[in-house]
Structures are given as C-alpha cells and as structure tokens.
Amino acid sequence: MGRRCWPRRALAAACLGAALLLLGAAPRALSPAFENSLGSGWLGGKRRSPLQMLYDLDQGPRSALAEVHRQRRDLLRRACSRHTRRQRLLGPEDLRHVLVDDAHGLLYCYVPKVACTNWKRVLLALSGRARGDPLAIPAHEAHAPGRLPSLADFSPAEINRRLRAYLAVLFVREPFERLASAYRNKFARPYSAAFQQRYGTRIVRRLRPRAHPDALARGHDVRFAEFLAYLLDPRTRREEPFNEHWERAHALCHPCRLRYDVVGKFETLAEDAAFVLGLVGASGLRFPAPPPRAKGAAARDLAERLFRDISPFYQRRLFDLYRMDFLLFNYSAPSYLRLH
C-alpha cells in the first residue's frame, strides 16, 4: 500500500477500493487508443515497449507462433467468462508473484515448478541486476527475497500504471505433472529436509495412524497418496494458503482478474521463452536450455505412475481441486485418470 493509504481505516479502505476497482476492470484490449497512452505509461522510454511490439505483431500478418499466442489469450478470456463467478477484489498482496522489470516494461508471474528459477535468472540478467550468462546465477540468488521487485511492493496507482502499460506474461504447466514434480522434489528426495520438516511431519501426524516416531520427527517418507489426502483435507487450507509449489496457478497469478498478454507453457518452453524475449527486444539473451524431450516424457510418466495407484474417488476430487488450471490453460484431463 502507498503511504497515503494507511493512516486511517476508512481512508485505507477508500484507497484500496480505488485500486481494486482498476485491478478488477475488464482486461484492456491492445487498441490504438490504448497505445497512445503508452508513451507516458512506459518507464523505458525510447524504443517500442514489449506491449507495443505485441500489438504490432497482432496487426500485421501473424507468424504461426504469434497466432498460437493470440488463440491462447482468447481461450483464457473465454474460459474466464464461462467459469468464473463474481470474485473477491484483489489487494496488492495478491500480486506478490508478479515480478516487475521496469527497464523493459515486463511483468512476469512466477509459478513454481514451471521453470521459474530460470525466468528469475533471466529477469535478473535483463534488469542488469546480474551480469553475464543467466545460467551462471546461482539458484538461491535468483530466489532470494527482494532480489526482484514484485507488484505487491508498489502503491495501487503505481500497480495500475504498470498493469496497463507493461507486457504481462505467465508460464503454466499441465497441473498434475506440476503436482507430481512438486511431490518428487519436496518429499521424495532426500535433500528437501526443510519441506519434510515443515510439511512432511504435519502430514504424517495428521494422516498416518500409529506412525513410527522416526517418521513423526522427520516427515521424510510421505507417500503420494498421503500428500494428496493432505491437499484435499479441508483443514489444510483453513490453516493457511497452500504452499506456492502446489497452489493452483490461477490462485497465484489471477489470470481472470489481470490481463495476461502471453500464456507460456512448460511443454513449449523454448519457443515461448524466445517469443517473450523477442518482444522484450532481448533476443540475444539465451533462455537456459529447457529439459530435453526425454525429460519431458519422464515427467509425464512420473505423473502417470503416481496417479495410477490413487483411487478413482481421490482422482476425481483432485481433478476438481485443480479443475480451473485445466480449463483456463486448455489442458485436457489426463487419459490415465478414471473419472467416470
């Protein structure tokens, strides 16, 4: 919140209300009228902003890739109007995951388990906060809090200005592959002691009758079925929001409230990253190589193997939990599920 907003509750509410009205406004179109306002809106100044670049692309004969992205945007908008009812208003803190590059006029909403470490590295390199090859930036540095500014750090007026003038991008992934990847990374591998300690012990305590004292103390052997039961347990989200590694992408990035110009996908990471970097005018920057095809197939196999052992009842409930991510981003229900 801006400083002007905090002294009195009523005033604070009014400030927030003004901001949220704008945040909640209909997604703005890439129209020429809007384009005229960019000059003052974009802090970068001289060259065409990434949003103007996208507008140019949409006016001319579209490349196949530009057409794919236009269709994804349209599908997202249609799915939003079909599947979302009146939603609560957003406050700045809801925008914590939207990272800001003022030098280029770029907003990137990060979804963990969707190449977000590499995107943070690229943003650090783009913004001049780190030099040289993005891959050389250590992961812990890319994730260090405050290393990259977030929209939540700005006042409502400053947030709205950026939302209007910047290119907004998010990257998503098939929801169950993402979930399987989060489980493997945070529970099934021996080196994620912090997650096992924080969440693993809680899961064992709550969901495993007659647990071994060692498991209660370390939370190191959580099974996939237990992890899913924890996600579906109503107490879990009553206590606190889901951890960002398994929170739904729509709940992290609010794609039906903010207007996203590019919906990138993990499944086509290399092409989509190059598309964004082209709009940003940083084609020379190399996005760290995405996993080779074989690893992509391995992620699919892992999800299939893990979910096959889950009862249809739980599969269905889990699909319901992640349904919006499937619908908004055009993923179909995996064929290995027994939903009917």
Residues that bind ligand NAG (CB under 6 A): 71-72, 75, 330
Q: How far is the CB of 313 from ligand NAG (least distance, A)?
A: 27
Q: Which is nearer to ligand NAG, 224 or 331 (CB)?
A: 331
Burial class (CB in 10 A: 0-12, 13-18, 19+), 55: buried
Q: Which is nearer to ligand NAG, 75 or 103 (CB)?
A: 75
Secondary structure (DSSP) of 139-163: HHHHHSTTSS-BGGGS-HHHHHHHH
Q: How far is the CB of 115 from ligand NAG (least distance, A)?
A: 19
Instruction: State how beta strands 167-172 and 262-265 pair.
Output: parallel
Helix (H) or strand (E) holding 100: strand 98-101
Q: How far is the CB of 263 from ligand NAG (least distance, A)?
A: 8
- Residue 86 Cα distances to 126, 218, 256, 279, angstroms: 37, 42, 11, 33
Number of other CB atoms surrounding residue 219 within 10 Å: 22
Q: How far is the CB of 184 from ligand NAG (least distance, A)?
A: 25
Rounded Cα distance between 324 and 17, Å, is 27
Q: Which is nearer to ligand NAG, 53 or 75 (CB)?
A: 75
Q: How far is the CB of 212 from ligand NAG (least distance, A)?
A: 44
Q: Which is nearer to ligand NAG, 144 or 297 (CB)?
A: 297
Q: Which is nearer to ligand NAG, 36 or 71 (CB)?
A: 71
Collapse the DSSP code of 29 into the 3-class scheme (helix H, G, I; strand E, B; otherwise coil) and give the result.
coil
Rounded Cα distance between 223 and 101, Å, is 40
